[in-house]
């Protein structure tokens, strides 16, 4: 009988283990030389919708109006005791203008706009560069601007680039804190799960080899196109999670096979790869298929995160199918815990638990389904929106400046609407139309651009992150003549939210269909494939229901120390559906493959 492909691959990798290990070491070291440079090369922006009106408006403003688009830098100078005419206040305004002028990525600031009470001034400097470089420019000037604050005058950098710079910094700090906590916990779990110190190190080897290699390739990609900073965060998370899963499943099966044939290590490797290795391969393909559906969303940040995760998963999967078989051997049982057994691990407690469920399968199935449906009910009131300023701590510059603008210029002040009227269209009539729309607080005189188009800036009566402001974008587009572009931060967030809402059913449908087809191919059983997809869908729905309670309704705000926005971030449901469904299907494949084998 012809040997199974994965068994042959595993035996060959183990037989030539030194060549395999050296080959992987060369790949990891060669590509790993570039890995430390990756984080600084990633983009903190990229939250835009390709082909949208808001993106077209931004590009038109950058080209014809000196770069004073949503990506421009904004600084706020405020004093409770001084006014804009006081020398000390004027000195701060001039200092800000000097900092902007010294930054090559920015054009000189426009004359300061002063609030009616005279206690607040806003300076805006257009951007000469793309959004990624605009965020980096905000990072460079924020320190100098923040240092201008003293006992009498507050100076803060705000605007979209500053928001994303602070948002990324806060998340980076959160990730570092999380890693300090999770890595020791993960190490303990690995030792308990694998039973020996030697085996517990295998997932870390897989993760390191796969992640470092993929990071090197990702750095190469950044030399040709932008990748989101979130690419690295999610790639690390997924690489570690799958590295643990794949190593645990293959090592457990190898131990059982080695216990049955202690004198045939190579044969035990073949058995492990023909059974557990096959499940790992289908599991990895399931994860890749789920993530590939995210590429259907025309948002660069989304696509880069999915592509980065797919690359890291591919490398971890490749390492699990080649490097791990090369490392396997009797040595994995060294430095065992006192209660560790050498043979294939079987748990009497779990066996009894499974038998109890089997005896009352229908009852438990109905109860589990009811519980999952109950947990999923908060999804009926799910609300989404792009991140509001409340996601930042109150002492961050971008939030301080935002709050000062809202207080001095009205709730809509921090997020102006930018309307581009093309040459040949009556700009005066367009301005009057905008002024007459309910929800508009102020309309500034139009500015004529280099190509004869006109830029009209309007301020809404409501907060830029509110539903009312988002709805106002749609009203403006319906009311203004064809060819007029509505842009600005509010419009960009509106387009992001609407795109994510419209693409969510398509992406979720593709994930479900491809997951079903892969299960059907792997297990050759229609009912099991359908049941697997449906129960995974239920479990994902329950997870999202709990998430809605925790984050949208703020049940976890106190214990976790965050301020609830009153909704979930728009990209979270779609993106995490693909992630959670992939992990859920991952475990489904493992369990069904093990059940089928035994």
What pLDDT tens digit does each residue of the chain (598 aa) get? 456 888 999 999 999 999 999 999 999 999 999 988 888 888 878 889 999 999 999 999 999 998 999 999 999 999 999 999 999 999 999 999 999 999 999 999 999 999 999 999 999 999 999 999 999 999 999 999 999 999 899 999 999 999 989 988 888 888 778 778 887 888 888 888 787 888 888 888 888 898 899 999 999 999 988 888 888 888 888 888 888 888 888 988 888 888 888 889 899 999 889 888 888 898 888 888 888 888 999 999 889 989 999 999 999 999 999 999 999 988 877 777 776 665 555 677 888 888 888 888 889 989 999 999 999 999 998 888 888 888 889 999 999 999 999 999 999 999 999 999 999 899 999 999 999 999 999 999 999 998 899 999 999 999 998 999 999 999 999 999 999 999 999 999 999 999 998 998 999 999 889 888 888 887 778 888 888 888 888 988 999 999 999 988 888 888 877 788 888 888 888 888 888 888 887 777 777 777 776 6
Give yes or no: residues 205 and 259 share one domain: yes
Asked if the structure places residue 466 within a domain, the reply is no
Rounded to whole angstroms, how far apart are CA atoms 464 and 472?
A: 10
Give yes or no: residues 291 and 209 share one domain: yes
For residue 388, the model assigns a pLDDT of 84
Tally of CA atoms within 13 A in the half-sphere of 237 that contains its CB: 15
For residue 125, the model assigns a pLDDT of 95
Give yes or no: residues 372 and 341 share one domain: no
Q: State phi, psi for 423 to the nearest 5 degrees.
A: -60, 140
Q: Is 50 exposed, middle or buried (0-12, 13-18, 19+ CB in 10 A)?
A: exposed
Asked if the structure places residue 189 within a domain, the reply is no
Rounded to whole angstroms, how far apart are CA atoms 9 and 11?
A: 6
Rounded to whole angstroms, how far apart are CA atoms 325 and 323?
A: 6
The CATH number linked to 297 is 1.20.1640.10
Give yes or no: residues 284 and 327 share one domain: yes
Structurally, the chain folds into a number of domains equal to 2
Give yes or no: residues 279 and 216 share one domain: yes
Asked if the structure places residue 208 within a domain, the reply is yes
Asked if the structure places residue 326 within a domain, the reply is yes
Give yes or no: residues 261 and 339 share one domain: yes
User: Quick one: tokens of 217?
Assistant: 């390739």
Last residue of a domain, one of 318, 345, 372: 345
User: DSSP string spanning 428-468?
Assistant: HHHHHHHHTSTTEEEEPPPEE-TTS-EEEEEEESS-TTSHH
Q: Which residue has the tokens 């990730």?
A: 175
Rounded to whole angstroms, how far apart are CA atoms 570 and 56?
A: 21
Q: Residue 364 sits in which domain range?
A: 357-381+497-598
Rounded to whole angstroms, how far apart are CA atoms 350 and 356?
A: 10
For residue 397, the model assigns a pLDDT of 95
For residue 162, the model assigns a pLDDT of 94
Last residue of a domain, one of 325, 345, 365: 345
Q: What is the pTM of this model?
A: 0.85
For residue 345, the model assigns a pLDDT of 59
Give yes or no: residues 304 and 362 share one domain: no
Instruction: Confirm if 586 and 242 have CB atoms less than 8 A apart.
Output: yes
Asked if the structure places residue 26 within a domain, the reply is yes
Asked if the structure places residue 148 within a domain, the reply is no
Give yes or no: residues 244 and 374 share one domain: no
Asked if the structure places residue 389 within a domain, the reply is no
Q: Which residue has the tokens 């000469």?
A: 128
Give yes or no: residues 556 and 576 share one domain: yes
Give yes or no: residues 365 and 226 share one domain: no
Give yes or no: residues 221 and 329 share one domain: yes
Of the candidates 215, 192, 298, 210, the one whose C-alpha atom is nearest the C-alpha of residue 246 is 210
Asked if the structure places residue 89 within a domain, the reply is no
Give yes or no: residues 341 and 374 share one domain: no
């Amino acid at each position: 009988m012809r040997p199974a492909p994965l068994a042959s691959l595993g035996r060959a990798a183990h037989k030539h283990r030194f060549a395999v290990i050296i080959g992987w070491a060369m790949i990891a070291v060669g590509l790993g030389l570039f890995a430390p440079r990756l984080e600084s090369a990633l983009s903190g922006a990229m939250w835009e919708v390709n082909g949208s009106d808001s993106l077209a408006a931004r590009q038109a403003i950058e080209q014809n109006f000196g770069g004073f688009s949503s990506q421009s830098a904004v600084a706020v100078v405020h004093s409770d005791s001084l006014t804009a005419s006081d020398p000390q206040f004027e000195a701060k305004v001039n200092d800000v203008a000097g900092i902007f002028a010294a930054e090559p990525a920015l054009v000189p600031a426009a004359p300061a706009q002063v609030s009616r009470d005279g206690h607040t001034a806003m300076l805006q400097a257009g951007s000469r560069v793309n959004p990624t470089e605009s965020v980096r420019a905000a990072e460079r000037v924020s320190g100098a601007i923040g240092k201008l604050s003293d006992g009498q005058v507050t100076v803060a950098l705000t605007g979209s680039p500053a928001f994303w710079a602070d948002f990324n910094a806060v998340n980076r700090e959160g990730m570092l804190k999380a890693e300090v906590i999770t890595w020791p916990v993960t190490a303990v779990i690995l030792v308990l799960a694998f039973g020996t110190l030697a085996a517990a190190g295998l997932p870390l080897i897989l993760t390191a080899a796969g992640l470092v290699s993929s990071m090197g390739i990702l750095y190469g990609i950044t030399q040709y196109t932008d990748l989101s900073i979130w690419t690295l965060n999610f790639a690390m998370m997924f690489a570690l999670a799958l590295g643990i899963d794949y190593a645990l499943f293959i090592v457990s099966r190898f131990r059982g096979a080695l216990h049955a044939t202690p004198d045939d290590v190579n044969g035990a490797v073949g058995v492990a790869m023909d059974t557990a290795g096959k499940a790992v391969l289908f599991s990895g393909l399931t994860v890749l298929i789920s993530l590939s559906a995210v590429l259907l969303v025309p948002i660069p940040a989304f696509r880069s995160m999915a592509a980065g995760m797919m690359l890291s998963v591919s490398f971890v999967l490749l390492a699990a199918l080649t490097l791990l078989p090369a490392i396997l051997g009797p040595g994995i049982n060294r430095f065992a815990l006192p209660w560790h057994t050498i043979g294939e691990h079987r748990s009497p407690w779990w066996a009894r638990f499974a038998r109890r469920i089997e005896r009352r399968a229908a009852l438990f199935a109905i109860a589990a389904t009811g519980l999952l449906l109950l947990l999923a009910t908060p999804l009926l009131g799910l609300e989404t929106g792009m991140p509001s300023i409340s996601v930042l701590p109150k002492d961050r510059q971008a939030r301080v400046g935002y709050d000062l603008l809202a207080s001095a210029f009205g709730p809509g002040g921090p997020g102006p609407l930018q309307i581009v009227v093309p040459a040949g269209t009556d700009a005066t009539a367009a301005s009057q139309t905008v002024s007459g729309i309910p929800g508009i607080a102020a309309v500034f005189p139009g500015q004529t651009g280099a190509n004869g188009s006109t830029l009209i800036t309007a301020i809404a009566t409501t907060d830029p992150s509110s539903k009312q402001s988002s709805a106002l974008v749609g009203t403006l587009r319906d009311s203004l003549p064809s060819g007029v572009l509505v842009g600005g931060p509010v419009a960009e967030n509106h387009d992001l939210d609407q795109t994510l809402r419209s693409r969510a059913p398509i992406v979720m449908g593709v994930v479900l269909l491809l997951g079903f087809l892969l299960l059907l191919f792997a297990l050759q059983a229609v009912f099991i494939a359908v049941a697997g997809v449906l129960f995974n869908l239920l479990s994902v729905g329950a997870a999202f229901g709990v998430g809605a309670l925790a984050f949208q309704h703020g049940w976890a705000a106190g214990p976790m120390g965050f301020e609830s926005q009153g909704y979930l971030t728009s990209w979270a449901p779609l993106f995490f559906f693909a992630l959670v469904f992939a992990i859920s299907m991952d475990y489904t494949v493992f369990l069904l493959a093990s059940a089928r084998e035994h």
